[in-house]
Structure 1
């Protein structure tokens, strides 16, 4: 029989909210984490910290620690690489300006994706994508590919989220657009300059451990996300060894985005956790 984990000292260090491409308001992520008995939950939206203030307020209400985080999109070795940041000063003007620049790049990419989809005969606009979200975008929020995928499903151009990505939005698909990206090294420097700890997100998703090693060697990373919803035991074992080899903090999280068409991506809050002592190491 599997040993029960004491959830009171567990933390989910990777969740997304409506501030980027998650389905729920930040306060709901915090409420769910508290209901599951977690000690802490991180809010790690793509290229924005817009959801953190609401989450921290909810953390005080529900008696759970909210870790301020971000997930920055970068490019290395011809692949999209994500760098998580924890405990940055979320009021740092330079950091906020840099994130705004990344969101501007994301907006330009979205416009190009929509143009490609229209050229394929699909009756889609960014206005329809935003309307399909069922709420107004706040100033520091952005539209992500999952929002476009939702609209493709609504239009009948795809059967579900996975189909939308496979046909149109994933790398190499019909409407894929590769925007200019910063390097993982730059993302690490941005996070450090804002007082935070940079961590390499879900290395198993890149399918190239030599590339991962190169990033670990070149970047000022503090940690590596060993535990993730899309990592199996083999990946966990490999990245635990890498963490030891490079002297990195071992982190983990569900990468919760909420449910789309009844399917939770990537995992539910609390489904992947690490012990609370990781927080002290990241600070």
Structure 2
């Protein structure tokens, strides 16, 4: 979305609670520096970074929207579902997310075995050591962490090469994992009091699948504005959002800076206004009755 004079909100950011580079507090401070009114913390399969972000947001005047990005699968493709304004203390949600992280851990171990089978000398412990800190039980490792290790060991020049050669879907190091459906993730989010949104549909390369997910899962919105969406994609998904009466959301998908490169986009480079945030609040209020 192009910049306006209205308040800006980045609704898709990651912290080191999953595969981001920054602490939640650092992301909040960066949002303040960039003049954002607020941001959503949407780590992969965890809500571990939200409390710290909210404390910092209250301190410096940045509105924090509690969120999550749940990993799912449909038609053989990895599909991500964002959830907003959900109850991050919901015990059922926390148990379900813990189960997803356990599956992610098993996937990471298989990726390491695949890389070792290709003759690369790398261990999961080396990946963890590369964090420079202890990994909390409610945090998760992702492929970007493994990519970092490959860079540091000299097997690839940067993260992009790590994914292009080894870690992307269809590459020799990639490992699929059993995942829940997008519809199930949306139900989990609604049951935790939140509003589900389909993340970055342009990355799936299958608009008919996106339509099928919308019709089956009944999300509140679709992420129209994303760092990996060009203008044509934005217009296409805006039309789909209007067709299905969905909220058009957007965010940078900021993961921080790795090897001098911002991944996926700089914080605040994609955003929505207060009107969109208010529509998400209303969707949640209607859900909660």
Written as runs of structure 1 = structure 2, the 5 A alignment for 1:168-183 is: 168-183=166-181
Distance 1:75 1:16 in 2: 20
Any gaps of 5 or more consecutive residues in structure 2?
A: 282-289
Any gaps of 5 or more consecutive residues in structure 1?
A: none
Q: For residue 111 of structure 1, give the secondary structure of its aligned residue in structure 2.
A: helix
1:230 and 2:228 equivalent? yes
Alignment correspondent of 1:194:
192
Q: How far has the Cα of 1:138 moved from its partner?
A: 1.4
Written as runs of structure 1 = structure 2, the 5 A alignment for 1:97-246 is: 97-246=95-244
Per-residue Cα deviation, 1:58-108 (whole angstroms, up to 9, x for no partner): 001110100000000000111100000001100000000000000000000
Distance 1:17 1:197 in 2: 21
Q: How far has the Cα of 1:159 moved from its partner?
A: 1.3
Q: For residue 210 of structure 2, give the secondary structure of its aligned residue in structure 1.
A: helix
Distance 1:225 1:116 in 2: 33
Q: State how many pairs are aligned.
A: 280
Distance 1:158 1:232 in 2: 28
Distance 2:132 2:266 in 1: 22
Q: For residue 13 of structure 1, give the secondary structure of its aligned residue in structure 2.
A: strand
Written as runs of structure 1 = structure 2, the 5 A alignment for 1:243-282 is: 243-282=241-280
2:46 paired residue among 27, 35, 48: 48
Per-residue Cα deviation, 1:150-196 (whole angstroms, up to 9, x for no partner): 00011111111011111111111111100001000000000000000
Q: For residue 14 of structure 1, give the secondary structure of its aligned residue in structure 2.
A: strand
Q: How far has the Cα of 1:277 moved from its partner?
A: 1.8
Distance 1:174 1:245 in 2: 39
Q: How far has the Cα of 1:4 moved from its partner?
A: 5.7
Distance 1:51 1:13 in 2: 15
Distance 1:82 1:172 in 2: 18
Distance 2:116 2:106 in 1: 16
Q: How far has the Cα of 1:220 moved from its partner?
A: 2.1
CA RMSD of aligned residues (A): 1.0
Is the alpha carbon distance of 1:169 and 1:4 closer, same or farther for their aligned partners in structure 2, counting shifts above 3 Å?
A: closer
Alignment correspondent of 1:34:
32
Distance 2:163 2:97 in 1: 25
Distance 1:229 1:176 in 2: 23
TM-score by length of 1: 0.97
